[in-house]
Amino acid sequence: MLEKFFELKQHGTSVRTEVVAGATTFLTMAYIIFVNPEILSSTGMDRDAVFVATCLAAALGTLIMALFARWPIGMAPGMGLNAFFAFTVVGAMGFTWQQALGAVFISGVIFLILTVTGVRRWLISGIPASMRSAIAAGIGFFLAIIALKSSGIVVASPATFVTLGDVTQTGPLLAILGFFVIAALDALKVRGAILIGILVVTGLSMALGISEFRGVMSAPPSIMPTFLQLDIWGALHGGLLHVILVFVLVEVFDATGTLIGVAKRAGLMQEGKKNRLGRALMADSTAIVAGSLLGTSSTTAYVESASGVQAGGRTGLTALVVAALFLAALLFSPLAGSVPAYATAPALLYVAALMMRELVEIDWDDVTESVPAALTALIMPFTYSIANGLAVGFISYAVLKTLTGRPRDVHPATWIVAILFVIRFAFLAE
C-alpha cells in the first residue's frame, strides 16, 4: 500500500530509508516544541496549550504535505513569525494574542487565495532576489537580539541603549554553553544538534537546582485555552491591517523559498517533468489557517527538512513519519514545561546565525540593490519589528531605483508592496 501510494520504487527509495529520513527531519526540527511555547507564552497564552497546539499544528500541516503533496517536507510554526507575533504585535503594539491569532487566520486565508489564483508565484517572481535574502537575514538579526536579551547576555543601558550583561551569572553562562554545544554538534554533522543543546542546558539547570523538574511524560494537557480563541473581528482593526500584510509577505517568501529549495535538493523539480509544487503550496497555505484555529502562529515549511532529504527521503512517507512523531511528542509536555528561557535562547541564536548566511546572496556591487537590502536587515532588530524592516526596505528600493533613472527595474509587485507600506506610515502619522 505504501509503495503504491507514495511510488517508492519510482523515486528510488524504500520504506526503511523513508522512516530513517523522517526521524532525521523530526530530530532537526523538534526544538520548536520547546521554543514556540516559550515565545508565545510571553503574550499571556497558556504555555501547555501552546505546546499542544504546536505539536498538533506541526503534525496536521506535515500530514497534509505527506498525503496531498507527497513531498518529504516537515511543517511547523515558523521561527521569526512567532517572534513577530509575540514581541511586536502583542508586546510592542499592544494587541491581544487573540487578535494576533485572528490576524494569522486572515493572512492564511489570503495566502490560500493567492496560491489558488496563482498570484503567489507572480509575487515571488516580482520581488528582487536581494530583498528576499535581506528579509531572511533581517529575521535572523531579529531572532538574535531576542535570544541575547532573554538569556541576559545583552541588557538595557540608559547611556548606550544596549550593553553586555553580567555573563558571570548562571543563566548567561548556560546559554553560552548551550550555543557552543549546538554549533559544535552541528559542525560535526550530529543529527538533532539544536534539540540536544536544549536538553543539555535544561538538564544542567535542573541539576543545579535553577529550574524545576516537572517530569518527562504525561497525558497531553488541554488545548482549550487556545483552541478557537482567535478574534477575527478584532484583527480587522485598522492597526492590524499592516500586520496581516507582513504575515502574508513573510509567509510567501519563507515558505515558497523553502519548498522550492528542499524539493530541488530531493530531485522533485526536474526540468521538463511534472512536479507537485502546486499541491505543496496548497498544503502549506492550508496549514496556516489550521494552526491559527488550534492556537499558534503561522505554520510553514521547515528548511530542516533538507536533513531528511540528505538521509534519502524522497516521498511523502518521510513527512508521514514526521507527523507521527510530532503526535507522539504530545506525551512530553512536562519536559517541555521544564525548559528554561536560557535553554531555548541558544537555539534561537544559532538559527539566527544560520539565517544570516543569506547576506552573501546580495549584490553588494549595485548600491540600488545592496542599500535597501542592508536597511531591511538593520531596521528589523534596531526597531524590534520585522514590519518596519520590510517597510523601509521596499520603500527605499522603489525610491532608489526611481532616483537613479531605473524605475522600470521595479516589478509591479514591489511597487504595490511599497505603496501599501507608505499608506501604512501615513495612517500611523495621523
The separation between CA 102 and the C-alpha centre of its own chain, rounded to angstroms, equals 18
Q: Considering only CA atoms, which of 367, 360, 426, 430 is closest in space to residue 391?
A: 426
Does pLDDT of 64 surpass 60?
A: yes
Instruction: Write the pLDDT tens digit of every residue in 253-300.
Output: 667 767 776 777 677 766 656 667 778 888 888 888 999 999 998 888
Predicted model pTM:
0.76
Angle at 296 between CA 293 and CA 300, to 5 degrees: 100
361 domain-assigned: no
296 domain-assigned: yes
Over the Cα atoms of the chain, what is R_g? 21
User: What range does the domain containing 388 cover?
Assistant: 2-356+366-429
Residues with Cβ within 8 Å of residue 71, at least 6 apart in sequence: 65, 259, 262, 263, 266, 268, 276, 280, 315, 316, 319
Instruction: Write the pLDDT tens digit of every residue in 196-209.
Output: 888 899 889 888 88
Average pLDDT over residues 18-46: 86
253 domain-assigned: yes
Q: How many domains does the chain have?
A: 1
88 domain-assigned: yes
54 domain-assigned: yes
Q: What is the pLDDT of residue 175?
A: 92
65 domain-assigned: yes
- Distance of alpha carbon 3 from alpha carbon 23, whole angstroms: 19
299 domain-assigned: yes
On whether the CB atoms of residues 280 and 69 are closer than 8 A, the answer is yes
CA distances from 62 to 29, 99, 122 (A): 12, 26, 25
Average pLDDT over residues 239-261: 75
